[in-house]
């Protein structure tokens, strides 16, 4: 799957993943109105609204990008109907040829971590049969519990030819509270990064490992260090756009081969219509606004990479 992700990045010329993180504040009013008219102001109504919103977005941008990253929390808040919308979104994106990174940040131990891995990447055995559950292509994983938490994911990834991105240095302001603490003079995120490289060496695709890392765009200097520490690790980079990361900050997340990183933007794309810059599309034109924002983001990254080399 890491090989397929790289091929899709090269084909689209866009190291971009769009975060499908629909809160109701972002969903255009006409979609909410239609869903609520049909199903009421219920969990089912909200789930229908976010599903229609996603569908419109995916239809508008699926030819431009290699991958999407639905954030499961945004669906989980709407309970079972919300998770059914997550499932529908995953299936639809795959139908449209997109690679799906489930942003689930799961992590537990032993058989429990294996259950999460099965839920999101693998097949569950029931009697004599096997079934896929959510069946994303990649999942994000929290490393706090150590190898016991990550290895069950690696096992399922090997069986299914899928991948994970392990949190290393997250994009949020307080990520340093624990991640930056010094251990023998080196920050914890470097220790975790080293471990990710070690895990990854056991799970190699053609040129990159299918054990990747998450490093926030908001920490470009740390990204530079981690890039060197984990040369074969693909880095998923959140924090571009709405969280403050800029194109120029991204250069050091990439390797000399122009690969090695994929940049996420969520609100900056899916709610582009709420920005002054894209206001001309209007609320009903939210999908076209998203398309324009993807094109601008692709250009911003290309320019930054050209300038940085």
What residues act catalytically? 105
**How far apart, in whole angstroms, are the C-alpha atoms of residue 121 and residue 150?**
13
What is the pattern of x (binds a copy of itself, CB under 8 A) and - over residues 18-37?
---x-xx-------x---x-
Give the interface segment with a copy of itself, choosing from 8-16, 82-90, 203-211, 220-228 (CB under 8 A).
82-90
Interface map 158-197 toward a copy of itself (x if CB under 8 A): ---------x--xxxxxxxxxx-xxxx---x--xx--x--
- Cβ pair 208, 185 in contact under 8 A: no
Give the Å distances, CA to CA, from 173 to 77, 179, 224, 243: 24, 11, 18, 10
Provide the token pair at 290: 């998203």
Nearer to a copy of itself (CB atom), residue 200 or residue 285: 200
Nearer to a copy of itself, 149 or 285 (CB): 149
CA distance 86 to 279: 28
Nearest residue (CB) to a copy of itself, 74 versus 236: 74
Cβ-contact 138, 212 below 8 angstroms: yes
Tell me: does residue 52 bind a copy of itself (CB under 8 A).
no
Smallest separation (angstroms) from a copy of itself to the CB of 73 = 4
CB-side neighbour CA atoms (13 Å) of 68: 31
Q: Tell me which stretch binds a copy of itself (CB under 8 A): 76-84, 201-209, 225-233, 253-261.
A: 76-84
| Residue 134 near a copy of itself by CB under 8 A | yes
| Least distance in angstroms from the C-beta of 207 to a copy of itself | 27
Alpha-carbon dihedral sign for residues 74, 79, 81, 84: positive
């Amino acid at each position: 799957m890491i090989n397929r992700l790289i091929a899709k990045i090269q084909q689209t010329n866009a190291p971009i993943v769009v975060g499908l993180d629909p809160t109701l504040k972002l969903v255009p009013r006409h979609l909410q109105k239609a869903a609520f008219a049909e199903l009421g102001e219920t969990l089912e109504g909200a789930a229908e609204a976010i599903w229609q919103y996603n569908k419109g977005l995916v239809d508008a941008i699926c030819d431009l990008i290699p991958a999407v990253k639905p954030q499961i929390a945004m669906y989980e808040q709407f309970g079972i109907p919300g998770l059914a919308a997550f499932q529908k979104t995953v299936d639809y994106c795959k139908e449209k040829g997109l690679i799906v990174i489930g942003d689930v940040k799961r992590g537990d131990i032993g058989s429990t971590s294996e259950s999460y891995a099965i839920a999101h990447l693998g097949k569950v055995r029931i009697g004599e049969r096997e079934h896929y559950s959510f069946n994303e292509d990649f999942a994000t994983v929290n490393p706090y519990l150590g190898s016991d938490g990550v290895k069950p994911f690696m096992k399922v990834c090997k069986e299914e030819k899928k991948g994970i991105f392990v949190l290393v240095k997250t994009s949020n302001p307080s990520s340093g509270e624990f991640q930056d603490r010094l251990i023998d003079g080196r920050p914890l995120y470097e220790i975790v990064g080293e471990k990710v490289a070690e895990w990854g060496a056991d799970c190699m695709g053609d040129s990159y490992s299918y054990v990747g890392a998450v490093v926030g765009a908001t920490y470009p200097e740390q990204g530079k260090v981690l890039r060197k520490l984990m040369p074969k690790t693909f880095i998923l980079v959140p924090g571009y756009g709405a969280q403050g990361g800029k194109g120029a900050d991204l250069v050091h997340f990439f390797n000399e081969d122009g690969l090695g990183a994929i940049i996420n933007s969520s609100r900056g794309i899916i709610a582009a219509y709420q920005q002054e810059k894209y206001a001309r599309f209007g609320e009903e034109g939210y999908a076209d606004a998203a398309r324009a924002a993807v094109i601008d983001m692709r250009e911003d990254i290309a320019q930054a990479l050209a300038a940085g080399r």
